[in-house]
Amino acid sequence: MGLFNKIKEKMTEPTPKNPMYDGAMVLLYNLDREKGLQFEIMCENLGVKVIYVAEEDYLQPVGALAEISGVERVEEQYEGEGFSEIMAVMKNFTGMSMVDFKKQMKRTHGVATFQLETTIHDKNMNMNSIEIRNMLHEKKHGKAAEK
Residues 119 and 89: beta-carbon distance below 8 Å: yes
Residues 89 and 120: beta-carbon distance below 8 Å: yes
Q: Looking at residue 127, what DSSP letter applies?
A: S
Which residues does residue 91 pair with via DSSP β-bridges, in sequence order? 25
Tell me the pLDDT tens digit for each residue of 46-78.
999 999 999 999 999 999 999 999 999 999 999
- Three-class SS string for 64-116? HHCCCCCCCCCCCCCCCCCCCCCEEEEECCCHHHHHHHHHHHHHCCCCCCCCE
Query: At a CB cut-off of 8 Å and minimum separation 6, what does 53 contact?
Result: 27, 28, 29, 65, 129
pLDDT (average), residues 101-127: 88
Higher pLDDT pick, 25 / 147: 25
Domain assignments of the chain as residue spans, ordered by start? 20-141
What is the reported pLDDT for 27?
97
What is the reported pLDDT for 1?
53
Query: At a CB cut-off of 8 Å and minimum separation 6, what does 76 contact?
Result: 59
Higher pLDDT pick, 75 / 112: 75
What is the reported pLDDT for 141?
86
Least confident of 19-33, 62-76, 116-130: 19-33
CA separation (Å) from 111 to 8, 38, 70? 28, 6, 33
The CA-based angle 144-130-39, given to 5 degrees, is 110
